Amino acid sequence: MTKAAVRAHTNIALIKYWGKADETLFLPMNSSLSLTLDGLYTDTFVEISDTFTEDQFYLNDVLQSPEETAKISRFLDLFRNKAGITHFIQVKSINHVPTAAGLASSASAFAALAGAMNRATGLNMDLETLSTYARRGSGSATRSLFGGFVEWQKGTSSEDSMAVPVDDASWDIGMVIIAVNKSAKKISSRIGMKQTVETSPFYPAWVASAEEDLLAIKKAIKARDFEKVGQITEHSAMKMHGSMLGAETPIIYFEPDSIKAIHAVRALREQGILCYVTMDAGPNVKVLCRLSEAGKIKEMLREYFSEEQLLISGPGQGIRPLTAQEAAE
Ligand code: ADP
Ligand code: DP6
Ligand code: CO
């Protein structure tokens, strides 16, 4: 097969990945755990042909710059080398998620591209092995190959730093996403985490507590203890942002409306509705909640945010090929 089209969903980390031990291989300082989301995804089409004279990368129908294309080419090389292919490749990707806004576009992007290349080259690696390839595009992409709750085990080498499914999340859990600001952030995740690792005195404490939180949340997921899962999730996100505030110069992804959202969620909790916030490298806030209560929570958040800013998402599936009809649309 020289053509393939694959859909991957984004994932939101409950225990965050923040910091690399190896920047070339994308080995993380700590293991992480996420929930794959149904509502936000990327569709990626690849074509390998000996008629192409260069790699081409289109994002949302726009031909990308030589710099953006070079990043993609380096990622494609991992597959070309493994498959013994030298041909150029055309990549066309459509984000059904805001790009670079802290809603994990890099996760669905590289999971979809890895999935499409796995098929187009005929390598057909299993998903755990493929996750070690997705990781080299963006760390968070490691986890998007699988649905539900997924752990990215930091491992000891490039071969075993991989994703492992933890639980299919087929219970009452989901998220309300508060899109505070959908525009691209000024500091990418990559730069933000590097600056934190290199300059924040709080960083070692972040790594130590992430490992503890991971063990605790896996136990809570297994017990389907929603309250515990939520408490650990909110605490992990705040600790990650705390480590950023200690960086020189401090990294602040919060915007005034992010703080407003955090307080709104606290107010909901005071009214007895169990829901918890998490935030990534961007101003947008995700509210972990019972999926059965998401509609009610969204309505209550309408006091502060517009309809367009609020999106409900349930747990999502892992990567899958697009059907011929979907690919044609
Ligand atoms: P996010 O919070 O959206 O994950 P990041 O800073 O981690 O933000 O990553 C954003 C970068 O990911 C973009 O600048 C682009 O280089 C890359 N990216 C996003 N979407 C795609 C896509 N569909 N295909 C390839 N690369 C993508
Ligand atoms: C805060 O995976 O986007 O969303 O590996 O440099 O591409 P790179 O960074 P990326 O970082 C994600 C950081 C995070 C937390 C998480 O998703 O675990
Ligand atoms: Co990202």
Over the chain (329 residues), the average pLDDT of each successive run of 10 is: 93 98 98 97 98 98 98 98 97 96 96 98 98 98 98 98 98 98 94 98 98 98 98 98 98 98 98 97 97 98 98 98 90
16 Cα: distance to centroid of ligand 2 (angstroms): 8
pTM: 0.97
Is the distance from the beta carbon of residue 30 to the nearest atom of ligand 1 less than 6 Å? no
The ligand that comes nearest to the alpha carbon of residue 143 is 2
pLDDT of residue 329: 81
Q: What is the rounded CA–CA span in Å between residue 312 and residue 47?
A: 34
The ligand that comes nearest to the alpha carbon of residue 98 is 1
End-to-end CA distance of the chain: 21
Q: Whose CA is nearest to atom 8 of ligand 2?
A: 138
pLDDT of residue 1: 59
Is the distance from the beta carbon of residue 10 to the nearest atom of ligand 1 less than 6 Å? no
251 Cα: distance to centroid of ligand 3 (angstroms): 16
pLDDT of residue 328: 86
pLDDT of residue 145: 98
The ligand that comes nearest to the alpha carbon of residue 105 is 1
Q: Taking CB atoms and a 6 Å cutoff, what residues make up the pocket around ligand 2?
A: 13, 16-18, 26, 32, 104, 106, 138-140, 189-190, 280-281
* Letter string b/e over residues 8-21, b meaning 16 or more CB atoms within 10 A of that residue's CB: bbbbbbbbbbbbbe
Is the distance from the beta carbon of residue 93 to the nearest atom of ligand 1 less than 6 Å? yes
What is the identity of the amino acid at 261?
A
Q: What does the block give as tokens for 312?
A: 């409900």
pLDDT of residue 207: 98
